[in-house]
A = this chain, B = another copy of it.
Amino acid sequence: MQPEEALNSCHRRQRTLHSHQRAKLSASLETKVRMRVWTAVDLCLENSIILNDRLDDQNMHVVVTCTEALLQAPGLPPGPSSGCPCSLPHSESSLSRLLRALLAARSSLELCLFAFSSPQLGRAVQLLHQRGVRVRVITDCDYMALNGSQIGLLRKAGIQVRHDQDLGYMHHKFAIVDKKVLITGSLNWTTQAIQNNRENVLIMEDTEYVRLFLEEFERIWEEFDPTKYSFFPQKHRGH
């Protein structure tokens, strides 16, 4: 894989450094991107909470890892990275852990997400759909219309998506895996949020929390049934 492809396929993102903080990127990637600093989320408590990495003044770029190995094996359980020759690190990262938690789904995945534009997370959801996992997505009508949203791709792939038609935001950011694991927190599923923001994600196997969030999902799912949409004033047809 060429560096440019690695850049695109791994969706490396960066943020601008102050002039005195500029860090050197590898020469193969430097020409394609502005000088920025890498950040990422990281897992702080095994299988329980993801908090973002803070910047280390001595090591200003925390490199986002390649997640191709996780995402290129439809039908196979997620395994350790292998075989990808791209120039990104292939070690574990918080994104890879989040992907792994999702890709563990065997029967169902409920997503209730204000914003969903991360290509890697989008590919993971499509992989699960291809594997026969029942995927349902609830999202916000405003954000899904923006460029970069994954919602159109998910719908094109045959995944059920419902959205609000409210003025308020559908601001949840949670996922439920196999009706057993709840993934929730501050993180919108965008590359910006994953790589640039300070965020937290909880991954909980607590039965009561899962039940409550699942109830919330089903409630919203029913409410957002497209047959109930009312974009236009109801017409009174004579007969």
Within 8 A of B (CB), among A13-62: 15-16, 18-21, 39, 44-45, 48-49, 51, 54-55
Indicate whether A93 reaches chain B with its CB closer than 8 angstroms: no
Q: Pick the contact of A49: B19, B21, B209, B219 (CB < 8 A).
A: B209
Write the nearest CB–CB distance from A162 to chain B, whole angstroms: 13
How far, in angstroms, from A213 to B173 measured CA to CA in the complex?
A: 18
> In the bound complex, do residue A186 and residue B167 qualify as a contact, i.e. CB atoms below 8 Å apart?
no
Whether A167 contacts B15 in the complex (CB less than 8 A), given A44-B212, A212-B44, comes out as yes
Chain A residues touching B, range: 35 or more
6 tightest A-B contacts by CB? A168-B196, A171-B197, A169-B197, A15-B167, A168-B197, A170-B198
28 contacts between A and B (CB under 8 A): A16-B167, A20-B230, A39-B168, A44-B215, A44-B216, A45-B212, A49-B209, A51-B212, A51-B213, A51-B216, A168-B195, A168-B197, A169-B193, A169-B196, A169-B197, A169-B198, A171-B186, A171-B187, A171-B198, A171-B199, A173-B186, A184-B185, A184-B186, A184-B202, A185-B185, A198-B220, A200-B216, A202-B202
